[in-house]
Structure formats: structure tokens, C-alpha cells
Amino acid sequence: MVRKHSAADQPLRLDNQICFAVYSAAHAFNRVYKPLLDRLGLTYPQYLVMLVLWEQDDVPVKDIGEKLFLDSGTLTPLLKRLEAAHLVRRTRSSEDERQVLIALTAQGHALKDKARSVPQSILAASDCSVSELVGMKNEIVALRDRLNAVIGE
Amino acid sequence: MVRKHSAADQPLRLDNQICFAVYSAAHAFNRVYKPLLDRLGLTYPQYLVMLVLWEQDDVPVKDIGEKLFLDSGTLTPLLKRLEAAHLVRRTRSSEDERQVLIALTAQGHALKDKARSVPQSILAASDCSVSELVGMKNEIVALRDRLNAVIGE
DNA sequence: GCACATTCAATTGCGAACAATTAAATGTGA
DNA sequence: TCACATTTAATTGTTCGCAATTGAATGTGC
């Protein structure tokens, strides 16, 4: 009997992999965000950095990295582009000159108002109730945190 | 009364965004996969392409792109790297010379056996039951498909 | 005070990811 | 048949994402 797909192959099937579900959902989100963020002049990772700064201004690069799980190799050039767009300022901390503090400019602050409609548009595109989304979000965050815990070992 | 964080700011809070949960979970998966895939000489996107080919060999670039939601701008250089690693062959279809067919080499086929332990390791890192993961996966896939449906409009 | 380790950002190099364009092959309608 | 549109990969340019390294600033143990 010829079996093209044996039972042992099931774990390797693309459709069975949660990682691919997450990977492809991240790209789908990115494609939905693109036209919305184009109007703000931001990419999605830049938008995430702005979300951090709109919550807390004048923070070290390291803090942004810890919140977004990104390192300086990603953030340094990204922050330079935000600086070139006059949305943030980069200044060395006087207390600890190793740190670079990121602060919003007036333009950076002002952009927050234009960004308020974004989450609403994403919610609409999700075609899903808020409570369902909150439930999924909590599950995914819990999974992410368990994965990150393994990496630190 | 000075309110640093108004109720109107809640939708813009990083921790409230499912997209960031998905985005950061995707990166967490990637970091867990990295040491496992290093032993196979693959990156995560290359691994996804190999998963497709292990299910169905000798497929056009376009079919791989549709399954993985990737375009030729991403796949062409990736497939050239897999070809340089002697895992796949790229040949023009004789029936339709616009198509490039991707076929596994003997090495590419053989790598499947070495890859069988990967899903098990990921499951362990997830620290989660299979049924929970399947449930989450189905929810995420449904969300992804709704997002992709919006893009097509 | 001084060697030493640690912290932090920047840099380099490589591999995605995608928009936009190009070019060749194929399909279609008059 | 022949003009025209469509399909398919490849290419170019920009932006992430991360590993590895560098260099300056800071902390520490003796």
C-alpha cells in the first residue's frame, strides 16, 4: 500500500503548525495596517515605537527595546528615520552617557491625534467582537511569554 | 485634574493591541526555532518553503507563494539560496515557460527526516497541550483569513 | 586608585518582506 | 493574424530583524 502522506508526516504539515498561523497572521495585520499608516508616514514597527512614546516620553532606547522585544540593531536605524521625519529627538543622557534618550517632538506628539482612528479601523477589519479579540490576545501573549521564557534558559 | 492617561488613550495602548501580541509572538517563535533550524541549515522562511515541498514536490513558485502568502520578490532570492544549498532545483516548465518549477533534490528529500524532531521541540517550548494549541491555531487562522479578505477588497 | 567586567548604543553583514517596475510567455478578441 | 491584456518571475530599492562585534561609559572588587 502506497501512502503519500503517512501519519508520521502530520506534525510537519504546514496547516497543522501554529507558528505558521501566527507568522501569516502577523503579515496579514501588516498588510491591513499599511494603507492606514501610510497616511501617518509610518511603517508598522515605527508605529509601535510611537505607541511606546505616546505612553511614556523621553525613554532610553533599551526600554523601547524591552517593550517591543527588539534590539539596538533594529532600533537605532529606525529611530534615526523617525528623527529624520522630525517625530523624535535623540539625546545622550547626562546622568549616564551610554544611554540615548528618545523624546517626542511637537510633531510627534501631534501625530497621536491622527493615529486615534487606526485601532478602530483594525477592529473593523478583524470582523470580530472586542471580547473575542481580548481573549485571543491574552492567549497569544501567554504563549509568547512562555516561548520567551524558554529562550532565556 | 491632570490625567496622564485618558480613557480615549486606551485603544492606543500597546498592551491592548492584538496585532502587537501576534507580531511579538511571531518573533518569539522565530527565536525558539533558530537553534533548531540552524542544525538543518535553514532559516524559518526557508523551513516553511521546505514544508510545502515535502508535502508536494515540483510546484511553481506561484503555488508556494499562495500557500505562504509571499510574493516573488521574497521567494526568488530565497529559492536561489536553497538552490545554492543543493536542497532544490529550479527549472522552467516546458508547458508554460513563464513558470519556474521548484523540485527537491535528494538532499532536500533527506532533510525531511532530520526535520521530524522540530515540531516536537516547539510543542515542548510552547508548554501547552496539543488541543489548546489546535484551538488557538484555528482562531488565529480564522482571524488571518478575515484580515486577508479585507485586503482583497 | 586601578584592573576588570558589565552595560549600552552603534555598526556591519545577511536574510527576509514588499512595492513598483520590467520582460518574457501566454491568452483573447476583432 | 495581430494588437492588446494577462500571467509569471525576476529585479530594484527601502525597511525590518538579528547575530556578532566595537567602543565608550559605568560599575566592581581588590
Q: What is the pLDDT of residues B90-133, one digit of tens each?
A: 999 999 999 999 999 999 999 999 999 999 999 999 999 999 99
Q: Assess whether B75 and B101 both reside in one domain.
A: yes
pLDDT of A4 strictly over 60: no
Per residue in B36-85, pLDDT (tens digit) is 999 999 999 999 999 999 999 999 999 999 999 999 999 999 999 999 99
Q: Assess whether B99 and B45 both reside in one domain.
A: yes
Q: Assess whether B151 and B98 both reside in one domain.
A: no
Give how far Cα A2 sits from Cα of A5, A6, A7, B16, B103, Å: 9, 9, 13, 50, 21
Strand order in the sheet with A100-104: A59-60, A100-104, A88-92
Per residue in A41-52, pLDDT (tens digit) is 999 999 999 999
Instruction: Give residue B40's domain range.
Output: 26-114
pLDDT at A2: 52
The dihedral sign for the CA sequence A36, A42, A46, A47: negative
Angle formed by the axes of helices A117-126 and B130-151, nearest 10°: 110
Q: Assess whether B106 and B149 both reside in one domain.
A: no
The answer as to whether B16 is a domain residue is no
Tell me whether A89 touches chain B (CB under 8 Å): no
The answer as to whether A28 is a domain residue is yes
The answer as to whether B7 is a domain residue is no
Q: Assess whether B101 and B136 both reside in one domain.
A: no
pLDDT at A11: 75
Q: Assess whether A79 and A135 both reside in one domain.
A: no
How large is the average pLDDT for residues B17-31? 97
pLDDT at B1: 54
Q: Assess whether A66 and A33 both reside in one domain.
A: yes
Tell me whether B66 touches chain A (CB under 8 Å): no
To test the contact with chain B by mutation, choose from A6, A12, A19 the residue with the greatest count of B C-beta atoms within 10 A, namely A19
The answer as to whether B20 is a domain residue is no
Kindly state the cell numbers that stand for B95: 508547458
Confidence of residue B5 (pLDDT cuts 50, 70, 90): low
pLDDT at A66: 97
Q: How far apart are CA B46 and CA A137, in angstroms?
A: 28
pLDDT of B4 strictly over 90: no
CA of A45: nearest nucleotide by C1' is: D16
Instruction: Domain count for chain B, please give it.
Output: 2
The CA–C1' separation of A97 and D25, in angstroms, is: 6
How large is the average pLDDT for residues B3-29? 84
Q: Assess whether A89 and A42 both reside in one domain.
A: yes
What mean pLDDT is reported for chain B? 93
The answer as to whether A103 is a domain residue is yes
Q: How far apart are CA A117 and CA A134, in angstroms?
A: 19
Per residue in A58-89, pLDDT (tens digit) is 999 999 999 999 999 999 999 999 999 999 99
The answer as to whether A99 is a domain residue is yes
The chain A residue lying nearest B14, using CA atoms, is A51
The string of DSSP letters for A28-51 reads: HHHHHHHHHHHTTT--HHHHHHHH
Give me the total of CB pairs closer than 8 Å, taking one residue from chain A and one from chain B: 181
Q: Cell numbers 527537491 label which residue?
A: B104
The answer as to whether A135 is a domain residue is yes
Q: Assess whether B96 and B143 both reside in one domain.
A: no
Q: Assess whether A78 and A40 both reside in one domain.
A: yes
B62 touches strand D (CB under 7 A): yes
The CATH number of residue A28's host domain is: 1.10.10.10
pLDDT at B3: 54
A41: left (phi over 0), alpha (psi -120 to 50) or beta: left
For residues A133 and B18, the answer to whether their CB atoms sit within 8 Å is yes
Task: Identify which of A11, A22, A128 has the shortest CB distance to residue B119.
Answer: A11
Contacts of B23 in chain A (CB under 8 A): 26, 29, 44, 48
Query: CB burial class (10 A; 0-12, 13-18, 19+) of residue A99?
Result: middle
Query: CB burial class (10 A; 0-12, 13-18, 19+) of residue A43?
Result: middle
Q: How far apart are CA B140 and CA A21, in angstroms?
A: 6
Three-state DSSP class for residue A101: strand
